[in-house]
Structure 1
Amino acid sequence: MASPDDLKFQEFEEAADLLSSNPGASTLSISNPSAAAAASSGDVRVDLSDDEDNQQESSELLGGEKQTGGFWTFEYYQSFFNVDTMQVLDRIKGSVMPLPGRNFVKHHIRNNPDLYGPFWICVTLVFSVAISGDVYTFLSKMGDTEYHYRPQFNRVSIAAITVFLYAWLVPLGVWGFLTWRQSVERHISGYTFLETVCVYGYSLFIYIPTSILWTIPVYWLEWLLIVIAMVISGGVLVMTFWPAVRDDTKLTAFATMVVIVSLHALLAIGFKHAYRQVLPPSG
């Protein structure tokens, strides 16, 4: 039988020493009967709302998730230019050095398409084509006493219309066609509109140094440079869009690639005839 002393509350020296050594230690108050009952039953709830918010923010940062507003906000359009210099240089390098089996979207864009590189490539291409056209005409007519040089400023506007229409309308048509084929053939893969525009924009970079070299008034060299530029830039497009259409019917797949390459070749040949023609002597 228990003695009366065993039923009394006793202070344990070890607990007292622990509290004296660590006064900030958390204690459990049983002033609230419901809390005491929950504690005695083992059902203890802890408010971790702040910690969950912090963990969610950390996971979003680590996961690289982008939170953008609607299309009327600045942040929405800022995401289209969210690239650094090294990424742009890597994509330019990939556009001038296409390797067999390397898809430009998967190996260089990596789910982060941008408009920064394509925009400045198109702007630079417009001025390089227009200026080199003037230089070519001047060098071709050098020594002709009947020729009087006049800057051809209209070439800038013509080049701008041609380049930007090609860089936007052709990708729009390709993206629309691939989207339609995806709805018809479920196994057909495709790209987003922004990825398609990004591929076309970077594929035009090779024409910038080519247009500068076009100032050399050598007929066979001009055509050689055109062929090289078409092969390089066309190779980027073929290796990018062929995996998206190869599972379609053979006729559709080959017809699609023929159209893509033909439009790209027409752009280069258009540069040659529109901006490299020698103007007739003026009296």
Structure 2
Amino acid sequence: MSGAGYDAVVDIDDEGDLGHTDLQEDLEFHNSNFSETAPNARKGGSAASGLPLPATASTSSGGGKRFLWTLSFYAQFFDVDTSSVLSRCWAALYPRANFLDVLDGNPDLYGPFWIATTVVLILFLGGTISDYLAATGKEAFAYDFRLLSGAAGLIYGYTFVIPVALYLALRYFGSESANLLECWALYGYANLIWIPVALISWSPYALLNWIFVAIGFGMSVAFLLRNLYPVLSATDRQTSKVLLILVLALHLGLSIAIKVLFFAHGSPAIPDAPPAEGPGAGPI
């Protein structure tokens, strides 16, 4: 019984006759102190047993520090598996819960980076196809890689610069719940809707393209406002309204830029592009 944390005490009759001992009455159990013989072993944990600490364990020692010039510092922002990224993508397209709850305290840059990269490539391909359809039968078509650099500047700039500005504004106005990684994650996953929009918005019909871009804008801005509102509301009422309007205006500007620069025949991004002709076609 000592292994279970108890001592067994048996009272024996004066005549030494164990046969008449009433075990129900004569057995007494006392708390054992065997578990207290090695208090340092409990506190030491895996270190006391000789096992190394988990790789993800945070320590206060010098070995646990991560510096800006080390890969481990940036690796922590990409510490997410494929299933988590896919579930976050699904939650961004079909938001049923607050996205910050989906992140579960582990925002990542893996999803936002690859989503932004995919959007850049598809915008370039979509804009190229759109311009090719406009130039077909008129003159020899040549690829314009200014579309690629323009898409990269627009998407990467919006995805990674705007959240920094928003984070600094929130901290300036006293929001303690603002988190830069969460802002990056929100804006990065909000871009996901532009992938299907870019895939179907290369048609020569301007009105149809406007409808597709409007749907993309509505879904992405609803996602942003829904998840940013609890953070923005941590500031005073007037400030939160101004910040919400700025978020809305900047996202509207992104949507219009995507439509005009990449899904418009005769786009300003391609100065020499010939205007389109035909029903429903136009400069924008």
TM category, shorter: 0.7 to 0.9
Q: CA deviation at 1:159?
A: 0.9
The whole-number CA distance in structure 1 between the counterparts of 2:116 and 2:153 is 11
C-alpha contact 2:92 2:223 (8 A) present in aligned 1:
yes
**Is 1:189–1:245's contact at 8 Å kept on the other side of the alignment?**
no
The equivalent of 1:180 in structure 2 is: 172
Tell me the distance in 2 between the aligned counterparts of 1:65 and 1:109.
19
Match of 1:98 in 2: 95
2:45 aligns with 54
The SS at the match of 1:135 is helix
- Residue 32 of structure 1 is matched in structure 2 by none
Higher relative contact order (CA 8 A, sep 6+): 1
Cα distance in structure 2, aligned partners of 1:189 and 1:232: 28
Q: Give 1:127's match in structure 2, choosing from 117, 121, 135.
A: 121
| CA drift at 1:56 | 6.7
Q: Which residue in 1 is equivalent to 2:108?
A: 114
Change (3 A) 1:261 1:56: farther
Query: 1:93, CA displacement in angstroms?
Result: 1.0
Larger radius of gyration between Structure 1 and Structure 2: 1
> Residue 192 of structure 2: SS of its match in structure 1?
coil
Could you tell me how far apart the structure 2 residues matched to 1:66 and 1:159 are?
A: 39
How many residue pairs get aligned? The number is: 228
- With normalisation by structure 1, the TM-score equals 0.73
Q: Which residue of 1 aligns with 2:17?
A: none
Return the offset for 1:267: 0.7
Deviations 1:87-128 (A, max 9, x none): 1011111111234xx32112x111001111111011111110
Whose helix proportion is higher, 1 or 2?
1
User: For residue 92 of structure 1, what is the amino acid of its counterpart?
Assistant: C
CA distance in 2, matches of 1:247, 1:80: 25
The one of 206, 220, 223 aligned to 2:207 = 220
Please identify, of 169-178 and 241-250, the stretch whose mean Cα deviation from structure 2 is larger. 241-250
For residues 4-34 of structure 1, what are the alpha-carbon distances to aligned partners after superposition, in whole Å with 9 as ceiling and x for unaligned? xxxxxxxxxxxxxxxxxxxxxxxxxxxxxxx
Give unpaired runs (5+ residues) of structure 1. 1-41, 183-187
Residues in 1 aligned to 2:112 and 2:39: alpha-carbon distance in whole angstroms: 46
Instruction: State the one-letter code of the partner of 2:123.
Output: V
Q: Is it true that 1:69 corresponds to 2:65 in the alignment?
A: yes
Give the fraction of aligned pairs with identical amino acids, expressed as a percent.
26
Q: Partners in 1 of 2:190 and 2:157 — Cα distance?
A: 15
Q: How far off is 1:53 after superposition?
A: 2.5
Q: CA deviation at 1:217?
A: 1.9
Match status 1:86 vs 2:83: yes
SS of alignment partner, residue 45 of structure 2: helix
